[in-house]
Amino acid sequence: MRLLRDWLAGIPAYLWSGWGAIASLLLFLALWEWGSIHYGELILSDPRSTFARLVELMQQGTAWPELATTAKRALIGFALAIAAGSFLGMLAGLSMTASMMSRPIITVLIGTPPIAWLVLALLWFGAGDGTPVFTVFVAALPIVFIGAMQGTRTLDGQLHDMASTFRLPATMRFTDVYLPHLLSYLFPAWITALGISWKVVIMAELLATADGVGAALAVSRSHLDTTSTLAWIAAIVGLLLAVEYLLLEPIKRELESWRDTA
């Protein structure tokens, strides 16, 4: 509750601090427009017709269902990854041996390109929801796992002793001593994992499914429709930016406010 209140109270100041970001985004749009003039409409449509197409897609009612399908797949894979990754990572972090043993496995998981997982997933799950969900899960899992493991490994032994001498009960030890520290590692990992999920789901859909934003991108590509392609890209990037900067970043700041940043 307190978190929600602080989040709402922090929004105006936070938005005001966003002017710099908006200025750099506008600069990027200007570059885009310049590129479009330079290379022509077929190679790079200009921003105005791209956004006009996006509005059109939304008014036709084609955009929202596709975005919802994609979001559903991304979020299921993401949710599975943060549940499994946080739990297993914390478990591994509790033991020195488990941490050392899991390191190379995580490196292998991170090093394996998502497209390779996608091919395997196609073989295992066929063309359906399973393939993008699995690919997202595998791509996001190691990031969350590492965050959880680092958080657990860096728990302060001195605070642990302090908690013992002050006879803190087990639940209070977790909520008051361990959890705030863990969250300061977990939450940034979750944000990174969400970004990865969102990118990977589009890729998976492009190759594996008949619906979702990825599939829509495949269709517009086959029609050589650059404007629609860019409109879809704008939609997914815009959605990610909105979720990250309006929802997650303020929560992250609130959770980490105790850290020595000043």
Partner 1 sequence: MITKSQPGLHIRALTHRYTVNPVLEHIELDLTPGTVLALVGPSGCGKTTLLHLCAGLLTPREGRIDNGFTRPACVFQQPRLLPWKNAQDNIALGLKAQGIPTQQRRERATNLGQRIGLDQEDLGKLPRQLSGGMQSRVALARALVLDPDLLLLDEPFSALDIGLKEELYRLMLDQQRGRGMAVLMITHDLMEAVRLSDAILVMAPEPGRIVHRFEIAQPPQTRDEPFVYHTTARLLSHPTVRESFGLAPSYPEQSGSARTSP
Of 223 and 259, which has the nearer Cβ to partner 1? 259
- CB neighbours (10 Å) of residue 33? 14
Terminal CA-to-CA distance of the chain, rounded, Å? Answer: 26
Of 59 and 158, which has the nearer Cβ to partner 1? 158
Of 8 and 172, which has the nearer Cβ to partner 1? 172
By CB atoms closer than 10 A (0-12, 13-18, 19+), residue 192 is middle
Of 161 and 249, which has the nearer Cβ to partner 1? 161
157-166 CB contacts, 8 Å cutoff, 24+ apart: none
Q: Is the dihedral of CA 212, 214, 217, 219 positive or negative?
A: negative
CB of 167 to partner 1, least distance (A): 5
CB of 176 to partner 1, least distance (A): 7
CB of 3 to partner 1, least distance (A): 13
Q: From residue 256, how far is each of 48, 171, 250, 259, 260 by CA, in Å?
A: 39, 22, 10, 5, 9
CB of 117 to partner 1, least distance (A): 37
Of 97 and 260, which has the nearer Cβ to partner 1? 260
Q: Is 114 left (phi over 0), alpha (psi -120 to 50) or beta?
A: alpha
Tokens of 197: 């999920």
Residue numbers at the binding site for partner 1 (CB under 8 A) = 158-159, 161-162, 164-169, 172, 176-177, 180-181, 257-260, 262
CB of 150 to partner 1, least distance (A): 17
